[in-house]
Amino acid sequence: MKKLMKRREAYYPAFEYLLDIYNRRGEFNFPLSIDQADRVALVLELIDIGYLDKNSFIVKKTRNNIDALYFNGGYPLTEQGLLMERAHLHIRRGRYIKLVIFLTLLVLVILIYLMIF
C-alpha cells in the first residue's frame, strides 16, 4: 500500500506541470514534445487510469513502441483528475493550517515561559 501511495505522490507534480503549461499556453508552441522517459510513462499511466484526457495528447507509435508523446495544449485533466487534484490541494492546505497553528502555540508557550521566568 505504501508503494501505491508513494507512486500516487508522483501524479501531483505532473498535474501541476500540465496545468501550468495549459494556463500559460500563449508562451508555448504546440504540440509540445514530452521527451523524458519517466514523464512519458507517467503521463501514459495517468491517461490509462483516466485522470488525464487522452484527446489532449498525441501518441506516435510504430508497432508496439511509443516513439513520441506530444501535449497539444487542450485541458489536460478529466473530471476524475480534477477531483484528485482538488483533494490533494485540500489535504496540503490542511497541513499548512496545522503547521501555522502549531507554530503559533509554540510561540505563545515560549512567550509565557519567558514572562514567568
In the chain, how many domains are there? 1
Q: Which domain holds residue 44?
A: 2-116
Q: From CA 46, how far away is CA 97, in angstroms rounded?
A: 30
Who's near 39: CB < 8 A, 6+ residues apart? 14
pLDDT of residue 1: 67
Which parts of the chain have pLDDT scores under 70? 1, 4
Q: From CA 89, how far away is CA 92, in angstroms rounded?
A: 5
For residue 10, give the 3-state DSSP assignment: coil
Find cell 487510469 and name the residue.
Answer: 49
pLDDT of residue 106: 95
In 3D space, the residue among 28, 31, 18 whose CA is nearest the CA of residue 60 turns out to be 31
* All three cell numbers of 91: 489535504
